[in-house]
Chains A and B, each alone.
Chain A
Amino acid sequence: MKNYIIRRIIQMIPVFIGILFILFFILEQAPGTPVSNMMIPKMTPEQKAELAQKLGLDIPWYERFVNWIGEALHGNLGYSINHKKPVVEVMKDYVGPTLLLSLVSLAISVIIGIPAGVISATKQYSITDNILTVVSFIGISIPSFFFGLLLLKNFAVDVQIFPLFGLKNPLLMSTNPVDKALDVAWHLVLPSIVLGLGSTASFMRYTRSSMLEVIKQDYIRTARAKGLKEKTVIYRHAFRNAVIPIITLLGFWIPSLLSGAVVTETIFALPGLGKISVEATMTRNYPLILGINAMLAVLTLMGALAADILYAIADPRIRYD
């Protein structure tokens, strides 16, 4: 097992470098150099060259790529001109809301999606099953921005229950941490529903088909023949095997939640990574774009690794050598 993990990590390194290489190459094709924004038309060619040299832009891009990786290993991802801060600092400022939103939605989808899938499978073709199936189709098909706008219209504009945007109420004077936490939670209700809906529906579908496959197997018939209670058969015998592929799914789900967060954060104007990455695109803030991409790529690869490890833990039949 330990050897397997080490081997997987070693395999991940060329993939990661490949991703960064492609990103770096693409950003290199961008019109205008990073200096062109900082240059004053009156500057002489010598001054321009000096500025380029100062910023390390006079060397070829592949050398800069190697330098960038070297610096990144020391935790330096460059400097964001728009924020007047190092990229790492900017990301630290904005990563909180994104993580909070993603984790809350993930929790919602696990807590609702998996049990709903089990119920749907145990009562196959019943009215409950049909309703849940229709709901799950709606969940995977409704565009998140449209769903978000519908919720905003109904619960924030027409009936003003929830706040329209942002993460904090600027008028909240209380310094009590409980009040502050409640305020943030209140602001996150609609965004987490929007981000969670799609994954809840997907988890429901995966759980349902996985349960149905397991229930058909011989050992379940044996368990029933032994005279075990239906609850024991479903939850102790069937569910344990059915949930293994779902656990694996969790690892792969993190990157897709973070992708979804881009849209959700934009609709609800939450100060998160998604919102600054859209801004970074508009202002052509390349170091920040590269930094965020690199971080998300690491998370994606870690998610895949975590999925494999969880799989091995959940299913002792899997052997690695």
Chain B
Amino acid sequence: MVKSEVLKNTESSHKNLSYWGEVFYRLRKNKMAMISLYLLVVIIALCVFVPVLSHYSIETTDMQNRDQAPSFEHWLGTDKIGRDLFVRLFYAGRISLGLALAVVTLECVTGVVLGSLSGFYGGFIDIVIMRFADIFMSFPFMMFCITIVAVFGNSVTNLIIVLALLSWPSIARIVRGQILTLREMEYMEACEALGISDFRRIFRHLLPNVLAYVIVYATLGMASVILTETSLSFLGLGVSPPTPTWGNMIQEARNTLIIQQKWWYWIPPGICIFISVMCFNILGDGMRDAIDPKMKR
């Protein structure tokens, strides 16, 4: 009796929610995912509002106060030419997170458009697009990034294009697979009978059903792009100084003296990368469970 009442209550509390409302309701119950979301909001807020929090700029050098450990004046210390590392850390976050967002947006748009064309039309278009997807998936990832950088130089724009170019095939495959199944459903037959245009059928009737998967993929994609960008910048092949990113700030630590004695150079950016990647991973996982409760572990 009690049990059925509880069941009734939980059901009625989110009964008249929309699809997305219900997804969000389930996500809110996942503590780990919500903590990750809040942490990400904090990190993003710090990156956005860093000019308000500190009066130093990323370029101001101060030779008298160089190489200093964290103090009240400089919250995360200063580097070898006296730049404030707290400010640099969060300006670097702007680049690292902004770049990841740009890459993920670009790859999702490309992947969704090509994947849905491929799944919807099939035949020759499908073969051509999927062959290209095969080619881009078989590129040795890191080596290819390195090659592009060697040829075109390491600018932020180049990096965004390369990373998006190499990662669209996975999202295209997911979208294509979903659309292949959806295409056979009865409501699509109804669309055809009603004479709705192909464009509307793809973008109004098919894609909304795939959107959930794309969002999960995009969240997990943020994590992997941050990791790739920081690794490349660390190797000196991504974004190059003086533009700070979390990756090239850690580059300083390839010096034994800094590893041994000056933790403030490289530990904070490392922790920032680690926390944001982890939060995106946990949030993505939580969203997958929220979207498809049947798949819940």
Q: Which residues of A are at the interface with B, using a C-beta cutoff of 8 A? A: 14-16, 18-19, 22-23, 26-27, 29-30, 124, 137-138, 140-146, 149-150, 152-153, 157-158, 164, 208-209, 212, 255-256, 258-260, 262-263, 266-267, 274, 277-278, 280-281, 284, 286, 289, 292-293, 296-297, 299-301, 304
Q: CA of A66 to CA of B144 in the docked complex: distance in angstroms?
A: 21
Interface of A is mostly: helix
10 A-B pairs closest in CB distance: A296-B140, A259-B142, A141-B278, A146-B270, A281-B150, A18-B135, A141-B277, A30-B151, A145-B234, A262-B142
Most chain A CB neighbours (cut-off 10 Å) among B140, B237, B250, B274 = B140
Q: Let me know if A153 and B135 touch, CB within 8 A.
A: no
Identity of the chain A residue whose Cβ is nearest the Cβ of B280 in the assembled complex: A141
Residues B182-235 near A (CB distance < 8 A): 223, 227, 230-231, 234-235
Our pick among B139, B147, B231 for the contact of A27 (Cβ within 8 Å) is B147
- B interface with A by C-beta (< 8 Å): 131-132, 134-135, 138-144, 146-152, 223, 227, 230-231, 234-237, 247, 250, 253-254, 256, 259-260, 266, 270, 273-274, 277-278, 281-282, 297
Q: Once the chains bind, are A157 and B256 in contact (CB under 8 Å)?
A: yes
Q: How far is the CB of A32 from chain B (nearest CB, A)?
A: 11
Beyond A157-B256, A263-B234, is A29–B135 a contact (Cβ under 8 Å)?
no
Interface of B is mostly: helix
B234 contacts which chain A residues (CB < 8 A)?
A: 143, 145, 263
Contacts of B140 on A, CB cut-off 8 Å?
A: 255, 258-259, 293, 296-297, 299-300
Structural contact, A141 and B148, CB atoms closer than 8 A: no
Nearest CB in chain A: distance from B18 CB, A? 29
27 A-B pairs, CB-CB below 8 angstroms?
A: A14-B131, A15-B135, A16-B138, A19-B139, A124-B297, A137-B278, A137-B282, A141-B223, A141-B274, A143-B273, A143-B277, A146-B250, A149-B250, A149-B253, A149-B259, A157-B260, A208-B297, A259-B140, A263-B235, A277-B143, A278-B146, A281-B147, A281-B237, A289-B147, A289-B150, A297-B139, A301-B138
Q: Nearest chain A CB to B3's CB is how many angstroms away? A: 20
Pick the contact of A149: B150, B236, B270, B281 (CB < 8 A).
B270
**Interchain CB contact (< 8 A) of A26 among B135, B147, B250, B282:** B147
